[in-house]
Amino acid sequence: MTPDLQEFGARRLAQHMERGAPGQTESGGRNPGFARIAQDGEVDTTHGAILYLEDVSVSFDGFKAINKLSLDIAAGELRCIIGPNGAGKTTMMDIITGKTRPDEGSVFFGSTIDLLRHREADIAQMGIGRKFQKPTVFEHLTVFENLELALKTPRGVASSMFFRLNSEQSDRLAEVLRTIHLSQDLMRQAGTLSHGQKQWLEIGMLLMQDPKLLLLDEPVAGMTDEETARTAELFLSLKGKHSLMVVEHDMNFIKSISDIVTVLCDGSVLAQGSLEQVQADERVIEVYLGR
């Protein structure tokens, strides 16, 4: 690829980002409400919440995996979700990210973006990043290349051919490397990292997109105690800058990061409060903690 093509790609990307100015049309007018939902970078959290689920239900072959689930998450909050196997935690994330369509209910990102009207890829691009349990980094690429690639993918493979990091993106990459404690390992092949480091790298790949909301499904499963403690520090450092929803079974980990804990059971909220409050709740003890 020629350098001028690379420059062209970088310019195109910069223009694309500039155009993301909230609520503005190309002629300078204001977009109507329905059009604003497609604007990258604009989520209305003036009412405090970044995510609202109301009376959401979904059935699989007659089995209600999610049953009138209502829940909201404040902007900047780190919310922990616990609950027994099969409670619907992963299914809830599938619904938020557009992977599964609910049979009924509403799901809003901020107060204006109706997520049920968007496809999975659009939802990711609007700023909802999701981490599945198994790390999905590119093992044969370096740490640096994985992070660099994370910037490119949402804009499509074609645009990534005409792409070079601009200075703002390079700065972001360096900051993400520090955040995930991999600055010393940037030229290492991702396949040689420990399980925990791979998980951090994947979180770093999400952070490269600067997501507003991060959904993390069992992020410390399989980690050593030390890796788990580092992940707790990492999540606490992300809180405020991002909103996080963390599903975990590891109660020590939950204890080290939690403010509000939501207990899901049979597809709806069984209890919610501080970890101490939900741990003392008889119903929670019966269905989950007391097993």
User: Which residues lie near Mg ion (CB under 5 A)?
Assistant: 89-90
How many residues touch ligand ATP under the rule CB under 6 A: the total is 10
Element containing residue 60 per DSSP (H, E): strand 49-60
The SS3 of residue 197 is helix
Task: Spell out the residues 6+ positions from residue 14 whose beta carbon is closer than 8 angstroms to its own.
Answer: 166
Q: Tell me the closest approach of the beta carbon of residue 66 to Mg ion, in angstroms.
A: 12
Q: Give the one residue of 43, 65, 78, 284 binding ligand ATP; rule: CB under 6 A.
A: 65
**In this structure, are residues 272 and 263 in contact, taking their beta carbons and an 8 Å threshold?**
yes
Interaction partner, residue 212 (Mg ion, ligand ATP, none; CB < 5-8 Å by kind): none
Element containing residue 198 per DSSP (H, E): helix 195-207
The widest CA-to-CA distance across the chain, in whole angstroms, is 66
Per CB under 6 A, contacts with ligand ATP among 88-147 are 88-91
CB neighbour class for 144 (10 Å; exposed up to 12, middle 13-18, buried from 19): middle
Would you give the binding string for ligand ATP spanning residues 24-63, x where CB under 6 A is met? ------------------------------------x---
Q: Tell me the closest approach of the beta carbon of residue 214 to ligand ATP, in angstroms.
A: 17
Q: Can you tell me the distance from the alpha carbon of 122 to that of 124, in angstroms, rounded to the nearest whole number?
A: 5
Nearer to ligand ATP by Cβ, of 34 and 63: the residue is 63
Q: Can you tell me the distance from the alpha carbon of 185 to that of 165, in angstroms, rounded to the nearest whole number?
A: 19
Q: Tell me the closest approach of the beta carbon of residue 158 to ligand ATP, in angstroms.
A: 32
Interaction partner, residue 167 (Mg ion, ligand ATP, none; CB < 5-8 Å by kind): none
Nearer to ligand ATP by Cβ, of 89 and 198: the residue is 89
* By CB under 6 A, residue 242 contacts ligand ATP: no
Contact positions vs ligand ATP (CB under 6 A): 60, 65, 83, 85-91
